[in-house]
Amino acid sequence: MGNFCTIILIRLSPQLHTPMYLFLSHLAFVDFWYSTGATPNMLANFLEEENIITYSGCITQLCSLVTFGATESFLLTSMAYDRYMAICNPLLYSVKMSDQVCLLLIVISYIGGCLNGVTYTGCLLNLSFCGPNVIDHFFCDFSPLVKLSCYHVFAAEILPAIYSAVIISIALVTIVISYLYIFFTILSMNSTEGRHKAFSTCTSHLTAVTLFYGTIIFIYVMPTSSYSTDQNKVVSIFYIVVIQC
């Protein structure tokens, strides 16, 4: 409801029809589908003694989460670029962040997310499962499913990690460079009020980026042997449920 109210408010308020709020509305849309992929099923499982999910349902859940998770990553990167243009190049902002540019960035974000979903789903379909069939997690995450496979296919296990690492690396490098320019631009401002206003437009985005990428790196980029399944569950709660709210 919170995400949908955000979208409706942005659509109905002409003063919010700017690139920053356009990206924010799509981020709210992605957050809705991202959290919906696992949270309702998790809550329902609290009320049932026997928790069951079908094979097709498990694949659908994983595909949904990795698709919208990657899309959110690209959208957060686009928002960092938008803040960079607004603060560091205000005179060129309307040209550099035109409707066509914003649409292109949004389309690229969704395409990148879909490619991530295809990669993970394709690798999962190449794995064989012959028992046990108990997933030690509150949703169908890739790592617990790999542990249940009968035959370990190295390519199917390593490709998703490589793709995730590439996405996160590109996104983080872009965000870090953008914020370095923003930071030095803010420091060079003579007005204290101007510095405060510029910084305040970035704090919420920077907080979301820190929480989102911190947990994602912990789960999908670090080797699976370096953390336990219980740690995986706790961190997953943060990036699937808490951050999306």
Structure tokens at 56: 């097709």
Whole-model pTM: value is 0.85
pLDDT at 245 over 70: no
Judge whether 62 and 145 are in contact, CB under 8 Å.
yes
The total number of residues shown for the chain amounts to 245
CATH architecture type of domain 2-242: Up-down Bundle (1.20)
CA–CA dist 164, 168 (Å, integer):
6
Identify which of 232, 235, 180, 231 has the alpha carbon closest to the alpha carbon of residue 211.
235
Which segments of the chain does DSSP mark as H helices, in order? 2-12, 19-36, 39-46, 55-88, 93-96, 99-125, 142-148, 154-187, 192-220, 229-237
pLDDT above 50: residue 157: yes
* For residues 205-231, average pLDDT: 66
Please give the pLDDT value at position 238: 66
Of the candidate ranges 19-28, 87-96, 196-205, the one whose mean pLDDT is the lowest: 196-205
Mean pLDDT of 19-31: 91
- pLDDT score, position 23: 92
